[in-house]
Structure 1
């Protein structure tokens, strides 16, 4: 705000100087015009009255003294001063540049600033205006102009000083008005930096301040939401990793506490321990996949992928799992589809979706997979005939460790990370995935992927 005040003061000073110079030019031009009007009037009167005729000489002297308050000199065609109102130069001959120019028919003007006077020289023609008979030299003081300019300077400088103080005062006032909300915002930012992300910044001020405050509050809300998700994620990871360990500990303690147990019971307990180890290993592997995908420098290995072949290979690999529940898998392809993508990650994502549909489907159910494309995108749908997902849980199925039915998920060996991996993979390919479901009817996952990837160099 001080910069604005400085600009205002400089602008006021410049305007003041420009105004004074403008008034100086105005007064000097007016004085110059006045001198020329008077000199031309005298020249015309001299020509018409026959001043250079000695008979009219005396009468015109009285006329010149009456109409002028400056000094008037009249010279003949030889440059000899015939008349001087100050009676100082009469009879002398002058050959100055201005007088010579006047005798040549050219009017001239000079301003002698050191003496504060102005002088005009105009030619005087003879009665019939056929030749120049002499010149009039009219000199007048500029004291009135200098005094007027001095008064104008004083008024202008006083006005500039008043305006300067006014600008400083207004700048100080408005600096407080405009900067106070930003100072409060900075203080609030510092508190958020210190960890107080649950505080909201009061929206006050003009439109721009309100926009900044609203955006900042939205950012803080997002930070708070991410912090809550992080804490929840840490809690879920701890719980998921702890559960298999607890089960293994209970099984091991049972084996140690009982002597002479049948070999079959030992085998059953050890089989359970191995299953818990496999479950723990799967959770850790899925976590590592997610952590790798979360890295900003994570790169995809783009290549041309035959999506028809990829879908068929995934379904073929999962068919034994579907046969265990007598689930029929139907694949419907509308055209041959090729796209640019990371084949390994796309295969993993599709495997997770179809495997999910098998795990949470009913016995003797059906899974229908479709593949289609237009000129820009490909479309994959995976539809099952399972129990479906409650409406309030549909938006949460892609959250890490979220389970609609926690008990059933653990029975099926799910980690709660599969759909998170799927969503991350699709987003990395600049695609989208949506979930639609009806209770007791089934669930449909819809995937859209661009056929061509635009990579930035």
Structure 2
């Protein structure tokens, strides 16, 4: 395996805390190193520029005085001038004649006269009438020196050239001392920075690790686990959202278990009744025509009840999963209401219950007519279950702004305040003794259908006599010609 692949694989196995620490510390070292390099480079350039400026000013001043002395032919005073200004140990000062002869020098060494001065760096330019500054190796000490050479000109006549050089050993010593100081400061900064980065990575990595463990626990089905992370930042908000998600999952799991228990109970009853009936028929009850007829009717009733329950469960499952596709069209509300009331009219006549439809105006709604008719039928079926013999079921529809409100009101015993929040739950029955057939899923299915249309369904808090369920649906948008 290539080295870079091994490094990448090893880095990929790092935890979030270690990866954050390594990445942040690496960026800190990179930025600090770049900053130190820029500072040292700027310091060196500034020092060299300052030294060159000072050396140039001094060389030009000496060249003015040397020019006066050369015009007078006073070489003695010229040598005194050169020795005075070239006295410091790190300074070397020379005056060269136009023909390359050494006229005066601050360095009293025999080798001075043996040097070919026009070949010395800077002298050729100066003897050609140009001032020049540069860095070169010393003529006698083999160390780096900065030099400035200027021509001596009087009345457009070249009298010679002055070359002053200064050792860079002092600059290099200052630079080394500065580098050591900066590196020590950098080490201290990196040590403190590493501590801060470790603290930051630990503070940021711990909640992330806790969230990971929390997610793993949720995956194992431990829905009672909660995150104890309180931070005034995005991680705190994420932890709060994860806790809310866990609460919703726990509630959904409880609903699922309740649903399975209720569904099992509801399915068990007709299946048990059907099983007992068939056993009785198989045991000889079918020999009596009257018993056979009664048992067969019971079997048919239980089969019908079982089929209805299974269909309701399938409808509810499709609605909750969102797999039911709504075929929305602009439909006449009156036609949908009449269709739903006609579907229940036969059973209402059997119980001598009257159906009254009150629609003040023709309204067009943007709905799936099949599904809304199913929801209305569920609500009407519930009203019929609890309507007394000779009672009335009213269906009233009114426009309110861009929505229509449909009220289904019966004259039954009504709904207690404690039961109103639960009437749209699956299999909920306030009083099991009052259940009068059905699967207990009708209102739950109605709510899912209405919700899918962007409407609402609720229990009227002040229905007067009986109970009233209120459905609101959006009206169709008016045609823009």
Q: Which residue of 2 aligns with 1:63?
A: 81
User: Is 1:388 the counterpart of 2:414 in the alignment?
Assistant: yes
Question: How far did residue 202 of structure 1 move?
Answer: 2.1
Say whether residues 1:23 and 2:47 are aligned partners. Answer: no
Contact 2:388 2:412 in 1 (8 A): yes
1:174 CA drift (Å): 3.5
Distance 1:260 1:384 in 2: 42
CA contact (8 A) 1:81 1:90 kept: no
When residues 103 and 227 of structure 1 are mapped into structure 2, their CA distance, relative to the original with a 3 A threshold, is: same
Query: For 1:89 and 1:8, how far apart are their aligned partners in 2?
Result: 57
Q: Secondary structure at the match of 1:165?
A: helix
Cα distance, 1:251 vs structure 2 = 4.5
| Bigger Cα displacement from structure 2, 429-438 vs 222-231 | 429-438
- Between the aligned partners of 2:121 and 2:281, the Cα distance in structure 1 is 132
The reply to whether residue 311 of structure 1 matches residue 331 of structure 2 is no
Structure 1 residues 33-52: Cα deviation after superposition (integer angstroms, max 9, x where no partner): 221121122133335xx211
When normalised by structure 2's length, the TM-score is 0.82
2:93 pairs with one of 46, 52, 72: 72
Contact 1:327–1:366, Cα closer than 8 Å, also in 2: yes
1:17-416 correspondence to structure 2 within 5 Å: 17-47=37-67, 50-54=68-72, 56-68=74-86, 69=88, 70-75=91-96, 81-86=102-107, 88=112, 94=118, 98-99=122-123, 102=126, 106-112=130-136, 115-126=143-154, 133-204=159-230, 207-251=233-277, 263-373=289-399, 376-409=402-435, 411=436, 413-416=437-440
Q: CA RMSD in A?
A: 3.2
Deviation at 1:261, TM superposition (A): 8.3
CA distance in 2, matches of 1:51, 1:447: 116
- 269-278 vs 420-429, which deviates more? 269-278
Q: Provide Cα deviations, 1:293-328, integer angstroms capped at 9, x if missing partner.
A: 334443223333222211122223323333334433
Deviation at 1:252, TM superposition (A): 5.0
Secondary structure at the aligned position of 1:379 is classed as strand
* Matches of 2:273 and 2:63, distance apart in 1: 127
Unaligned residue ranges in structure 2 (runs of 5+): 1-19
Q: Distance in 2 between matches of 1:204 and 1:169?
A: 24
In the aligned structure 2, how far is the partner of 1:242 from the partner of 1:439? 36
TM-score by length of 1: 0.86
**Equivalent residue of 2:438, what SS?**
coil
Alignment check: 8 A CA contact 2:117 2:123 kept: no
> Conserved in 1, the CA contact under 8 Å of 2:82 and 2:105?
no
Q: Which residue of structure 2 lines up, in the alignment, with residue 13 of structure 1?
A: 33
C-alpha distance after superposition, 1:230-258 (max 9, x if no partner): 11111111110111223334455666778
How far apart, in 2, do the equivalents of 1:375 and 1:138 lie? 98
- Give the deviation of 1:81 after TM superposition: 4.7
1:342/1:91 Cα in 2 relative to 1: closer, same or farther (>3 Å)?
closer
Instruction: Name the counterpart of 1:445.
Output: 469
Structure 1 unaligned blocks of 5 or more = none
| C-alpha distance in structure 2 between counterparts of 1:297 and 1:56, whole Å | 113
CA distance in 2, matches of 1:297, 1:237: 21
Q: How many residues align?
A: 447
> In structure 2, do the counterparts of structure 1 residues 299 and 207 end up closer, same or farther at CA, with 3 Å as the change threshold?
same
